Amino acid sequence: MAQVKFTPNLRRFFPDLCDCAVEAATVADIIAAVDQRWRGLGDYIIDERGCLRKHVNIFVGDQLLQDKTGLSDSVAADTRVIIVQALSGG
C-alpha cells in the first residue's frame, strides 16, 4: 500500500485528517480513495476538470507529479506520496 502524507495546513478544513495507507495504482486512485474517506478533500486537491489545482503539489517518492492533468503517475505498493497545499499571502 502507498503511504499518503498530508501537510498540516489541510487539517484546518479536515480536523481528523491523518496520514494513511492506500491501495492504489495511480495518483488519481489515491485522490479518489482519500476523498472517499474525507468527503470534500478531493475538491481541495483537484479542480472541476480533474486536474491538479495550481496551489497543490504532489510528490510521488522524491519526484514531483508529472501528469498534472490526468494524475496518471503510477504508484508502487511501498511508495510514499506527499500532498502539499501551498500557502500564500503577504
Q: Sketch the domain layout of the chain as residue ranges.
A: 2-85
pLDDT digits (tens, 9 = 90+) for 11-69: 888 999 999 999 999 999 999 999 999 999 999 999 999 999 999 999 999 999 999 99
Q: Supply the pTM of this predicted model.
A: 0.90
| 6 class by beta-carbon count within 10 Å (0-12 exposed, 13-18 middle, 19+ buried) | buried
Residue among 67, 69, 66, 65 nearest 83 (CA): 65
Give the pLDDT band of residue 90 (cuts 50, 70, 90).
low
Percent helix, percent strand, percent coil in the chain, to nearest 5? 25, 30, 50
> Is 2-85 a CATH 3.10.20.30 domain?
yes
